[in-house]
Amino acid sequence: MGFISGLYVANNYSLGGSLVSKDKLRNFQVNEEFFQKIFEIGRRYKIMNPDKMRTTYGKLMYIIQDAITPGVLDFESKIPIRCVHDFLADHNVLEMLSDSDMILATQCLTSTADRQKVKELTLAKNEARTRIIDRYTSSRLTKDKIHSVLESLTDSNAYILANRHPVDRIIYFLKKYFDPQVEDREFSLAISYRVNGSCLTHSHSVQFNFVYQSLLLWREIQHEMFLLWNNADADLLAKRSYNLEDTGQGLQRVQSAPFVADSMSRVLGRVQARLHSWVGLSVVHLGDRDVPNALVFIDKYTQVPRILAPIVNTIERIGELILDPLCGQFIEEAGGVEYLRKKILCDYFKHGFDGSGDDGGSCIDGRLTSSWNWTSKIEKKGLLSYLSTVWFLRV
123 and 40 fall within a common domain: no
The CB density around residue 92, as the number of other CB atoms within 10 Å, is 10
Q: What is the pTM of this model?
A: 0.88
186 and 319 fall within a common domain: yes
Give the number of domains in the chain.
3
Burial of 203 (0-12, 13-18, 19+ CB in 10 A): middle
195 and 296 fall within a common domain: yes
186 and 140 fall within a common domain: no
Percent of the chain that is helix, strand, coil (3-state, to 5): 65, 5, 35
Q: Which domain covers residue 312, as residue numbers?
A: 178-395
Query: Residue 69, by phi and psi: left (phi above 0), alpha (psi -120 to 50) or beta?
Result: beta
143 and 187 fall within a common domain: no
183 and 137 fall within a common domain: no
Q: Which of 130, 159, 188 delimits the end of a domain? A: 159
291 and 207 fall within a common domain: yes
Residue 207 inside a domain? The answer is yes
**What is the predicted pLDDT for the residue at 240?**
85
**What is the predicted pLDDT for the residue at 379?**
75
Low-confidence ranges of the chain (pLDDT < 70): 1-30, 71-74, 111-113, 357-360, 382-395
The dihedral over CA atoms of 358, 360, 361, 365, expressed in degrees to the nearest 10, equals: -40
Q: Are 16 and 38 in contact (CB under 8 A)?
A: no
Q: Alpha carbon of 166 to those of 153, 169, 233, 311: distances in Å?
A: 21, 5, 26, 9
Residue 78 inside a domain? The answer is no
291 and 151 fall within a common domain: no
21 and 152 fall within a common domain: no
**What is the predicted pLDDT for the residue at 26?**
54
225 and 353 fall within a common domain: yes
Residue 124 inside a domain? The answer is yes
Could you read off the pLDDT of 207-265 as tens digits, one per residue? 999 999 999 999 999 999 999 999 999 999 998 889 999 988 889 999 999 999 999 99
